[in-house]
Amino acid sequence: MENLEYDVVVIGAGAAGLMAAGTAARNGSRVLLLEKMEKPARKVRITGKGRCNLTNARPPEELVQQVRTNADFLAPAFAEFNNRSTMRFFERNGVKLETERGDRVFPKSGKAGDIANALEYYCRDNGVDIECNSRVTEILTAAGRVYGVLYFNKRGYERKVEAPNVIIATGGVSYPATGSTGDGYLFADALGHTIEPVRPSLTPLVTSHSQRSYMNGLLLRNVRAVLYVDNVPVREEFGEIGFSERGVEGAVALRMSRDAVDALIDGKSVKIVLDLKPALTDEVLRERIKREVAEMQPEEFFGELLRKLVPKQLVVPLAKELDVHSKLYISKVSEAEFERLVKVLKGFVLPITDYAPFEYAVVTAGGVHCDEVNPRTMESLKVKGLYFAGEVLDVDANTGGYNLQIAFSTGHLAGMLKK
């Protein structure tokens, strides 16, 4: 194989693929990177609402605590290339970084394109051949090892390229418009790998709350939320939760979505219960309401009391939840209704009936079974010379920069091509 044109073919020019290709080339390999879309890193360019939360600055040893699936599998990848490594990598490649709330790391420019461009330049500067508009159709193997790939180039011609190593970095199926359409699962399955069923993760959740239309555009900060599955509390979060036409969003809902999606798929009942006043005990809140009422005029409305307690968009939903008209005079509100108000403020129930599709999911849960991949090299245990990196693997993590860190860590390790 010494006369082959390339030592490694990387399939997919996303975060993991670019890191893998650049690392392999920097270590002396001749690398071909094939991307079916018209340019590299399309998903990177839109992540984090176009700002790209590329990693998290918390202590490196805490990274695995944020991984939801197969955290132990990722330990060697994190040890080889952790969040500090990622930050140094981009700074050395000309991207200034800043750390924001929650230890989330962003490019100082606020432009995700800077991250995408840095990855592409890293590849090109190290001699990677990048071919876009090139769709791989088959990974070629013989006697249990890889020897190349078949692909259609941008002119529509089928080509065969031989190489002793192939890295699959095709992503999952989230944001399919960016090219993540599950190709890697098909390749892996065809080569005998087990695929853990894929489903959306970090995705908006759909509520059947009767007043959900009033809440579109609402963002609640500093709320406590508890996820219930079949009326059993399974996860608690604190932070922001928002509402849109896609469903219940924000960091709190996204972190809960992994458990919620699995429960819904299993046919279980799901609900989120919000404590809208987590800093106040029931008794303190009760006294707060009494003080507010004492300062109001008898002809003022119940809705005006609610407006002192919650954002405007929650006034009507709360009033309807309590079955008290928002235009009822405050002097007509009973003690029992005030008591119900305390209970609803401390336990606002959002029935969850569905989840948003892959088009809106940040990442994909499920993928290539990690038991069939060497965690110290990312090489397949079934096919020699075949490697995996990034979201195609059955790994996913909480929101906050951790999923891109997984891509960089596994991509770097795969690119080392350790034997």
Instruction: Flag whether pLDDT at 232 surpasses 90.
Output: yes
> CATH classification of 8-199+364-415 is 3.30.470.20, yes or no?
no
> Hey, what are 74's tokens?
């990722």
Contacts of 278 (CB under 8 A, 6+ apart): 222, 223, 224, 238
Instruction: Tell me the residue type at 37.
Output: M
Strands (E), 253-332: 270-275
Residue-averaged pLDDT of the chain = 95
142-151 pLDDT per residue, tens = 999 999 999 9
- Rounded CA-CA distance 238/388 in Å is 34
Strands (E), 80-133: 97-100, 104-107, 129-131
- SS3 label, residue 102: helix
- Rounded CA-CA distance 68/365 in Å is 9
- Rounded CA-CA distance 49/112 in Å is 9
- Rounded CA-CA distance 202/174 in Å is 10
63-100 pLDDT per residue, tens = 999 999 999 999 999 999 999 999 999 999 999 999 99
Question: DSSP for 41-71?
Answer: -HHHHHTTTTT---EE-S-GGGGGGGBSS-H
> Hey, what are 227's tokens?
């996820």
> Hey, what are 69's tokens?
């699936």
281-338 pLDDT per residue, tens = 999 999 999 999 999 999 999 999 999 999 999 999 999 999 999 999 999 999 999 9
96-105 pLDDT per residue, tens = 999 999 999 9
Contacts of 148 (CB under 8 A, 6+ apart): 9, 139, 140, 160, 161, 162, 163, 166
Q: With 0-12 CB in 10 A as exposed, 13-18 as middle and 19+ as buried, what is 177?
A: exposed
- Rounded CA-CA distance 224/227 in Å is 10
- SS3 label, residue 8: strand
Confidence band (pLDDT; 50, 70, 90) for 395?
very high
The predicted model gives 256-280 an average pLDDT of: 97
Per-residue confidence (pLDDT) for residue 280, from 0 to 100: 96
Per-residue confidence (pLDDT) for residue 419, from 0 to 100: 44
Judge contact between 60 and 86, C-beta under 8 A: no
- Rounded CA-CA distance 52/310 in Å is 32
Judge contact between 406 and 83, C-beta under 8 A: no
Q: Where are the alpha helices (DSSP H) in 132-227?
A: 183-190
170-190 pLDDT per residue, tens = 998 887 777 678 899 999 999
Residue 326 to residues 1, 214, 246, 320, 340, Cα–Cα distance (Å): 78, 14, 27, 8, 15
Q: What percent of the chain has pLDDT over 70?
A: 99
- SS3 label, residue 266: coil
333-371 pLDDT per residue, tens = 999 999 999 999 999 999 999 999 998 998 999 999 999
Query: Nearest 10 degrees: CA dihedral of 319, 324, 330, 332?
Result: 180
Query: Could you tell me whether strands 31-34 and 8-11 are parallel, antiparallel, or unpaired per DSSP bridges?
Result: parallel
- Rounded CA-CA distance 77/399 in Å is 19
Instruction: Tell me the residue type at 408.
Output: F
Per-residue confidence (pLDDT) for residue 418, from 0 to 100: 61
C-alpha torsion sign, points 329, 334, 339, 340: negative
State the pTM of this model: 0.90
The predicted model gives 236-259 an average pLDDT of: 94
- Rounded CA-CA distance 268/351 in Å is 12
Q: What percent of the chain has pLDDT over 90?
A: 93
The CA-CA-CA angle for residues 335, 336, 341, to 5°, reads: 95
- How many other C-beta atoms can be found within 10 angstroms of the C-beta atom of residue 330? 18
For residue 324, what is the DSSP state?
A: -
Closest CA to 82 of 406, 392, 415: 406
Instruction: Tell me the residue type at 164.
Output: P
- How many other C-beta atoms can be found within 10 angstroms of the C-beta atom of residue 233? 10
Instruction: Flag whether pLDDT at 1 surpasses 70.
Output: no
Question: DSSP for 347-361?
Answer: -EEEEEEEE--GGG-
Judge contact between 60 and 84, C-beta under 8 A: yes
- How many other C-beta atoms can be found within 10 angstroms of the C-beta atom of residue 408? 28
Per-residue confidence (pLDDT) for residue 177, from 0 to 100: 74
Domain residue extents for the chain: 8-199+364-415, 204-356
C-alpha torsion sign, points 361, 55, 52, 374: negative
